[in-house]
């Protein structure tokens, strides 16, 4: 690739203020900061239909934490759709985050991400958090962030997902959401013909809360961008199919590494998976399971991994369900017709998605060619040998595990994302695509540009990721330059529905005649049909 100075990533001189300086041409730049509450001033207060909230001031922003958006899903409401919150009397304190959804937790975390959730955990977890420059009538664009975590981990209160940078640098209102995870959110029992996907009913309740209340926080309910990564990005696609009364729930969507290649279970398959879990618990039915303390449910998750895992596939012990009540079709299809067709979409993936889960796993690093060929055959059938050779030649010095990881990344993330972009482009629907290419030197470079690596770049908040081992060794100038560029483009998309203008080179829409994909690296460039060879290889075999 030619190193054209005019297409270089802008290098940030350091800190959040320099990031903000890039955005002075956007509405709500420095001139808008006069409306921001100042530290030491009076605490911000908003009046909502549910009651009065008193927030705090953090970094010059008004912040409201631990705001309930649905009734606590406990007791008889465990494994029931989210219900309206009854409200409260007087003024509710909103200066502390609510508990995160129950999830597995290990002190010290893992060698890639560290921890993706931290105590306290509690089943009463349906809260959200709001960052705003001011709780006024400014009608700012809104970003709602849905965290990922393999459907079993994460929290809207993680420092990683703080709304501070987006709110300040983009003059946006930012909302992060807690929702039910793991067995509490993803089991399916089909009781009395009822649906499942309790996690999805939570997120729908949160979006309706945003639509109905965000104006009190200085936000515009007609300018909502729903954004998420991994499982959160799959959620964004699933929510595109909502058919609400009144105004749509969101206008734009950012899907970072959506695992659209997942095979979503049918009702029968989901019932069988839930029966497996009840067997691990040692209970006979859902009524008995409602009496089991939630820590026992989380403890049973580890055995669920063993029972549901398959060699050569990303482990997902809990999955959504095509219950025909809350989710009728695959999430990707919901962005092609119905209310989802009109949504502006920005979608992308990282170059080595699967290295996140497999590169440091000794079981997989010891893989033989025969083992990997057997897995390749499940995607490519009779052309497995040809596909194996293609993947092997694409990465100099590739080991069998490298072929396996690239195949898994394509099956689960890249090829389905490209297929969605192709189908939207064929219908004339707006879509922008990116591939995040910057590798991390952590763990001797074995992770490459792994799953989740783009997150601190999009948020431009590396100071919030100090406990994440996979960021070690990144060169500060390159790191901060790419972060400023991505962050500004994300803000532009949230504000206008277009990632241009900004410090990035011109980013055309993904069209069928060009298939332009933005390559995000130390030098950022727009590349036509970036994954063309692999798209044709997968398409020619009819692989998913």
Say whether 54 sits in a helix, a strand or coil: strand
Extract the tokens encoding 139: 């009608």
Q: What are phi and psi of 541, to 5 degrees?
A: -100, -5
Spatial contact of 145 and 176, defined as CB atoms under 8 Å apart: yes
Residues with active-site annotation: 230, 353, 451
Spatial contact of 411 and 379, defined as CB atoms under 8 Å apart: yes
Q: Enter the DSSP assignment of 266.
A: B
How wide is the angle at C-alpha 389 spanned by C-alphas 387 and 392, nearest 5°?
Answer: 110
Extract the tokens encoding 402: 């490298």
Q: Which residues lie closer than 8 Å to 309 by C-beta, 6 or more apart?
A: 315, 317
| 499-510 burial: b if 16+ Cβ within 10 Å, else e | beebbbbebbbb
Distance CA 364, CA 367 (A): 5
Spatial contact of 98 and 125, defined as CB atoms under 8 Å apart: yes
Q: Enter the DSSP assignment of 507.
A: -
Q: Which residues lie closer than 8 Å to 43 by C-beta, 6 or more apart?
A: 54, 55, 56, 57, 95
CA distances from 100 to 120, 126, 415 (A): 6, 8, 33
Q: Which residue has the tokens 């990533």?
A: 9
Q: How far is CA 414 from the centre of its chain?
A: 15
| Crossing angle for the helix pair 198-213 and 231-239, to the nearest 10 degrees | 70
Distance CA 518, CA 539 (A): 22
Report the length, in residues, of the chain: 544
| Crossing angle for the helix pair 294-308 and 267-281, to the nearest 10 degrees | 120
Distance CA 292, CA 281 (A): 9
How wide is the angle at C-alpha 411 spanned by C-alphas 516 and 315, nearest 5°?
Answer: 135
Q: What are phi and psi of 57, to 5 degrees?
A: -115, 125
């Amino acid at each position: 690739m030619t190193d054209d100075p005019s297409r270089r990533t802008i290098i940030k001189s350091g800190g959040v203020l320099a990031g903000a300086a890039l955005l002075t041409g956007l509405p709500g730049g420095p001139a808008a900061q006069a409306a921001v509450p100042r530290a030491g001033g009076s605490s911000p207060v908003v009046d909502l239909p549910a009651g009065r909230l008193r927030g705090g001031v953090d970094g010059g922003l008004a912040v409201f934490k631990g705001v309930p958006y649905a009734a606590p899903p406990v007791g008889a409401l465990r494994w029931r759709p989210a219900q309206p919150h009854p409200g409260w009397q007087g003024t509710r304190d909103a200066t502390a985050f609510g508990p995160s959804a129950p999830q597995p937790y290990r002190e010290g975390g893992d060698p890639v991400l560290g921890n993706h959730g931290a105590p306290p955990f509690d089943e009463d977890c349906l809260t959200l958090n709001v960052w705003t420059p001011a709780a006024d009538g400014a009608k700012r664009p809104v970003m709602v962030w849905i965290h990922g975590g393999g459907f079993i981990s994460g929290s809207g209160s993680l420092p990683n997902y703080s709304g501070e940078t987006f709110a300040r640098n983009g003059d946006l209102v930012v909302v992060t959401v807690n929702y039910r995870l793991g067995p509490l959110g993803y089991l399916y029992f089909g009781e009395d013909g009822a649906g499942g996907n309790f996690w999805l009913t939570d997120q729908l309740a949160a979006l309706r809360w945003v639509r109905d209340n965000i104006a009190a926080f200085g936000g515009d309910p007609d300018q909502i961008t729903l954004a998420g990564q991994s499982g959160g990005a799959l959620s964004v696609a699933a929510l595109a199919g909502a058919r609400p009364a009144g105004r749509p729930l969101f206008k734009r969507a950012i899907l970072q590494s959506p695992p659209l290649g997942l095979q979503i279970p049918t009702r029968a398959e989901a019932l069988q998976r839930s029966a497996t879990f009840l067997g691990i618990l040692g209970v006979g039915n859902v009524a008995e399971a409602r009496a089991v303390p939630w820590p026992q449910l989380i403890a049973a998750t580890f055995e669920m991994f063993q029972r549901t895992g398959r060699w050569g596939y990303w482990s997902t012990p809990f999955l959504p369900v095509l219950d025909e009540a809350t989710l009728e079709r695959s999430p990707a299809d919901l962005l092609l017709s119905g209310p989802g067709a009109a949504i502006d979409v920005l979608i992308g993936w990282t170059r080595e998605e699967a290295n996140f889960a497999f590169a440091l796993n000794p079981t997989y690093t010891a893989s033989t060619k025969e083992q990997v060929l057997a897995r390749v055959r499940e995607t490519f059938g009779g052309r497995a040998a040809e596909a194996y050779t293609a993947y092997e030649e694409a990465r100099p010095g590739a080991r069998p595990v490298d072929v396996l990881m690239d195949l898994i990344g394509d099956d689960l993330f890249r090829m389905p994302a490209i297929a969605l972009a192709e189908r939207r482009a064929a219908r004339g629907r707006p879509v922008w695509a990116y591939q995040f290419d910057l590798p991390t030197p952590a763990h001797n470079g074995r992770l490459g540009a792994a799953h989740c690596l783009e997150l601190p770049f999009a948020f431009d908040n590396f100071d919030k990721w100090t406990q994440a081992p996979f960021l070690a060794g990144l060169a500060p100038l390159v790191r901060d330059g790419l972060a400023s560029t991505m962050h500004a483009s994300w803000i532009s998309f949230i504000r206008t529905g277009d990632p241009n203008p900004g410090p990035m080179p011109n980013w055309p829409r993904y069209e069928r005649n060009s298939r332009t994909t933005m390559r995000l690296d130390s030098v950022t460039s727009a590349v036509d049909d970036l994954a063309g060879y692999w798209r044709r290889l997968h398409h020619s075999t009819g692989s998913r």
